[in-house]
Amino acid sequence: MAGGNERIMKALKEVWRRAENSLCADCGKPDPDWASSTLGVFICLSCSGIHRNIPSISKVKSLKMDHWDDTQVQFLAKHGNAVTKAIYEAHIPIYYYQPTYNDCHVLREQWIRAKYERREFTEPGKQLPYSDGVKEGILWKRGRDNGQFLPRKFLLSEREGCLKYFTKHDAKEPKINVKIDVINATFQPVKIGNPNGLQITYLKDNKTRNIFVYHESGKEVVDWFNAIRSVQFHYLKVAFPIASDNEIKNRLTRNFLKEGYMEKTGPKQREAFKKRWFTLDHRRLMYFKDPLDAFAKGEVFVGSRENGYSVQKGLPSGTQGNFSWHYGLTIVTPDREYLFTCETETDQLDWITAFTSVINQAMTPQEYAIEAYFKFKS
């Protein structure tokens, strides 16, 4: 009996060591140590918890702690991540967002359910709830002034190339009508305080406007997210006909590079430092009094190193403004220096890393135009 167990464990480890099984089949996390005995995929601990919630589809076991029998190991050997992905991920739309282990729970859960439970990607040309070019429904939206979440009707239209929302269900005119090419959407469950919280941002007069929404259904809010990406994709295909699908995909919704609190001082650098919430959205550094503010109190353009931008650890000697946090950093631009302080050294180094990643990238023609606007405005 012991010899049989050793043989089975040896066979299991051989399958487990295959290169195709070295990353979680669902989120890409390295070194997965769980597997589904009914789907034949190797997955991480976090994704195994989601699989456990769909027991009619997937039965998960630990590769280290649970007993595996001969039949189950043979099933894993015949399948594995590559074979199973070829079945369940055969026809994923180019615009569909495939989450990683860094993404929030609702994105990862709906990705797993879409693949295995709803089998959305197994057939070519399948009609999907986010691929119609139009989506209409109710989302709970946070009020700009009172902070209260209220149900609002939203309408997304590929034909009109816009997203609208209405304050009343029977309203004839929308409260906003936003062109799809200036919209971004990113999940913010912690900031919004809801596991299905979605932040929609758009440019209005070249300033960023935030809308915070959620839906009780995780599937519904993820469908909205992918519907926005779908409409954006088709809009950009028309606007940039020679661009490849992957180039366009990279221009769809994006996560912010970094968010968090820092202290800042004014342009004279003699004022007291004030605590603000900062969002780095590629080359736009925005700061808010509160993380859920609709509009930023100010924005700073972060250009490239070759154009005179840099980030430096610490504050200039002789800085006079009073500050309570002592881990400083300085953003140098062609026109002035911006001074910030962080609460911890870890925060300071993380912000410096984020700024450096932006500054080291060459600017696009569109970004030169944005830089010119910021200079004109100031």
Dist. CA 341–CA 328, nearest whole Å: 4
Q: pLDDT tens for residues 331-342?
A: 999 989 999 999
Judge residue 155's burial from the number of C-beta atoms within 10 Å of its C-beta, 0-12 exposed, 13-18 middle, 19 or more buried: middle
Dist. CA 211–CA 227, nearest whole Å: 17
Question: Same CATH topology for 1-117 and 258-376?
Answer: no
Phi first, then psi: give them for residue 26, nearest 5 degrees. -105, -35
First and final CA of the chain: distance in angstroms? 79
> For the chain, which residues make up each domain, given as ranges?
1-117, 134-250, 258-376
CATH of domain 134-250: 2.30.29.30
Q: Which of 4-8, 50-54, 102-106, 279-283 shows the lowest mean pLDDT across its residues?
A: 4-8
Q: pLDDT tens for residues 17-42?
A: 999 999 999 999 999 999 999 999 99
Query: Could you tell me the sign of the dihedral formed by the alpha carbons of 54, 138, 143, 252, in that order?
Result: positive
Residues 116/57, Cβ–Cβ less than 8 Å:
yes
Q: pLDDT tens for residues 214-230?
A: 999 999 999 999 999 99
Q: pLDDT tens for residues 34-87?
A: 999 999 999 999 999 999 999 999 999 999 999 999 999 899 999 999 999 999
Dist. CA 38–CA 50, nearest whole Å: 14
Residues 212/141, Cβ–Cβ less than 8 Å:
yes
Dist. CA 75–CA 40, nearest whole Å: 6
Closest CA to 257 of 184, 193, 324: 184
Residues 47/108, Cβ–Cβ less than 8 Å:
yes
Alpha helix stretches (DSSP H) within 284-336: none
Map tokens 């100010």 to a residue. 298
Dist. CA 224–CA 134, nearest whole Å: 10
Q: pLDDT tens for residues 165-210?
A: 999 878 889 998 999 999 999 999 999 999 999 999 998 887 889 9
Which residue type is seen at 246? N
Query: Could you tell me the sign of the dihedral formed by the alpha carbons of 183, 264, 297, 309, in that order?
Result: negative
Tokens standing for 262?
């820092």
Dist. CA 221–CA 139, nearest whole Å: 8
308: left (phi over 0), alpha (psi -120 to 50) or beta: left
Map tokens 């295995």 to a residue. 116
CATH of domain 1-117: 1.10.220.150
Dist. CA 292–CA 141, nearest whole Å: 12
Which residue type is seen at 127? Q
Dist. CA 15–CA 29, nearest whole Å: 18
> According to the model, what pLDDT value does residue 321 have?
73
Q: Which fold has domain 258-376?
A: PH-domain like (2.30.29)
